[in-house]
Amino acid sequence: MQSFTMHHHLACLLLFSAPLVAFAISTPENFLQCLSLHSKNATAISILLYTPINSSYSSVLDITIQNLRFLTPSAPKPLLITHRHTTPYLPCPSRHHFAPDMWVQSGATVGELYYRIAEKSKTLGFPVGVCSTVRVGGHFSGRGYGMMLRKYGLANDNVIDELANVQGRLLDRNPWGKINFGQSEVEAVAKVKLVPVPSTVTVFTLLRTLEQHATKLVHQWQFIGNKLPNDLFMRVILWSYNSSSNGTRTMEALFNTRYLGGVDALLKVTRSSFPELNVTRQDCTEMSWLELILYLAGFSGEPLEVLLNRSSNAKLFFKHESDYEDQGVAQMIWNHYGGRMSEISESALPFRHRAGVLYKIQHLTAWTDGGDEVASKHVSWIRSFYSYMVPYVLKLPREAYSNYRDLDIGMNNNNFDRLVCVKTAVDSGNFFRHKQSIPLFSF
């Protein structure tokens, strides 16, 4: 076994369920013994690693889990968890106006990343998501995105340099690192490029019912959303509910919008590009960039330090599916693309959803009651719904967003030949693997 480098294996969840163990070791105890023998700091091993027999195992696992389905007795559990606090490192910003770089380890959370940037600057950001407890390693490797998707692209589009492989050796981004970084085959130690953000941003959320012409508005949004200015991100959330005691159901559409600028500029855009939505000044709220981070994470009015909380404040049972669309359809949560996303080649990273994509669709069902019968009902429903959507979405092949996919989707195949070459060169021992990962080249 190669020498174990602690610096590159901190604070990540190792999903070593039995069929996927990357070592010729039959038990977690044997694995721990192996690590101790090959580590310069054997004491740190016992502090950082948890097995099911450890008294803290359950509490540490609970911190990492947001979907309660993975805490049910029948769900496979990790044989090992590594857990340690890591901090993104941000050099002091230059007195000039260009953005600095930042080093981030995979165990840092999105909230910690936002917080450390905010410590140094109120006008710099990074295009990651809004869920503050998500770990950066998984977010990046799944091609994570956020509200600045149309302005700056994916998080991975703004990664500058190095990664670490299974031996802890740093890899240059070019030619291998850039491709490999987007495919979950390496442990990430990344240098990222921070981006400028305005001192004032604007948000609004408008609810429209069927009686308020929600159907017409959603139809229009499908064909203008990807053409709006890059500073504007407007997603649509659709849901149905019982509108009467006799079980009659209806639908509502929520237009959830963030604009990188002030309210006057936003109103000018909506009045010229989407006047039918009838956005007014009273609908809009201006805030600072830091206030927006807290607002989107569900922490409005709370101190910035709340972003350092690593335990999710919203745990549910849920199942997601996703699709992409280039013609137009009508269901669930839609995030429009266009802007910077259309300017980056689909071969730049293993992410093919670039030019020509109107929006991404997220299908979601969630519930609060446990039990196999309840879970089966919801999972069966969303699988049925997903099948129903076949005629209305991109297909041959049908597409899915990386971080939403599960084994219902099948295997990844975009940029496949290149990824097989990268995988073989960087991880020839197939250390980083799961049921949908890229295989090694067969000679």
Q: In whole angstroms, what is the distance from residue 327 CA to residue 212 CA?
A: 24
Half-sphere exposure of 139 (CA within 13 A, CB side): 29
Residues forming a β-bridge with 283: none
The answer to whether 160 and 202 are in contact (CB under 8 A) is no
Q: In the structure encoding, which two tokens stand for residue 362, read together?
A: 């997220």
Q: 């807290």: which residue's tokens? A: 294
- Count CB neighbours of 359 within 10 A: 24
The answer to whether 346 and 353 are in contact (CB under 8 A) is yes
Q: Which helix (H) or strand (E) element contains residue 422?
A: helix 416-426
The C-alpha angle 331, 333, 334, rounded to 5 degrees, equals 90
Q: In the structure encoding, which two tokens stand for residue 78, read together?
A: 């990790």
Q: 């599960």: which residue's tokens? A: 406
The answer to whether 249 and 241 are in contact (CB under 8 A) is yes
Kindly list the catalytic residues.
404
The DSSP-derived string for 209-267 is EGGGTHHHHHHHHHHHGGGS-TTEEEEEEEEEEE-STT--EEEEEEEEEEESS-HHHHH
The answer to whether 300 and 287 are in contact (CB under 8 A) is no
Q: In whole angstroms, what is the distance from residue 344 CA to residue 341 CA?
A: 6
Question: What is the tally of helices (H) and strands (E) in the chain?
Answer: 13, 15
- Nearest Cα to Cα of residue 144 among 171, 126, 162: 126
The answer to whether 391 and 371 are in contact (CB under 8 A) is no
Cis peptide before 229 (omega within 30 of 0): no
Note the residue count of the chain: 443
Question: Crossing angle of helices 289-296/110-120, nearest 10°?
Answer: 170
The answer to whether 419 and 439 are in contact (CB under 8 A) is no
